[in-house]
């Protein structure tokens, strides 16, 4: 099952509310009619960036929901797109060694899951 990670940089949020870790996956699951589901979260040791993991049946179908939320919605006073990096994997998050960044566009970087950061 493919997966998505949203990395949020708290330094770029007006209000780095921890409830974002629940609100974002809940909204995406509801809006996508089950194409996206919550798959957990974690924090980077340095800087405290939050990783929100999402499971999906299809990254191609799921990404528009994710990008629309980030670009158009304000949650807890935050425009999330200003603080977000979005990356995808073709395997479940638990098995992913890295995620390919798809937002912002033109970024050739990867995001490594927190649990694999020391590997």
**8 A C-beta contact, residue 98 and residue 24:** no
CATH architecture of 3-116: 2-Layer Sandwich (3.30)
Task: Read off the pLDDT of residues 28-72 as tens digits, 9 standing for 90 and up.
Answer: 999 999 999 999 999 998 888 999 999 999 999 999 999 999 999
> Please, what's the largest Cα pairwise distance for the chain?
36
Task: Give the residue among 53, 45, 47, 62 at the shortest CA–CA distance from 21.
Answer: 53
Token pair for 75? 């949650």
Rounded CA separation 61/46 (Å): 32
Q: What is the pTM of this model?
A: 0.92
Task: Read off the pLDDT of residues 76-109 as tens digits, 9 standing for 90 and up.
Answer: 999 999 999 999 999 999 999 999 999 998 878 9
**8 A C-beta contact, residue 12 and residue 24:** no
């Amino acid at each position: 099952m493919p997966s998505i990670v949203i990395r949020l940089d708290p330094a770029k949020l007006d209000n780095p509310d921890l409830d974002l870790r629940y609100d974002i996956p809940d909204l995406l699951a509801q809006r996508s009619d089950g194409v996206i589901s919550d798959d957990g979260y974690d924090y980077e040791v340095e800087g405290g960036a939050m990783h929100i993991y999402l499971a999906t049946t299809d990254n191609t179908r799921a990404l528009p929901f994710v990008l629309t939320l980030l670009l158009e919605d304000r949650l807890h006073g935050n425009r999330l797109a200003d603080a977000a990096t979005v990356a995808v994997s073709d395997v479940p998050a638990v098995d992913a060694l890295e995620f390919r960044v798809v937002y912002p566009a033109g970024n050739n970087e990867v995001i490594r899951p927190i649990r694999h950061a020391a590997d």
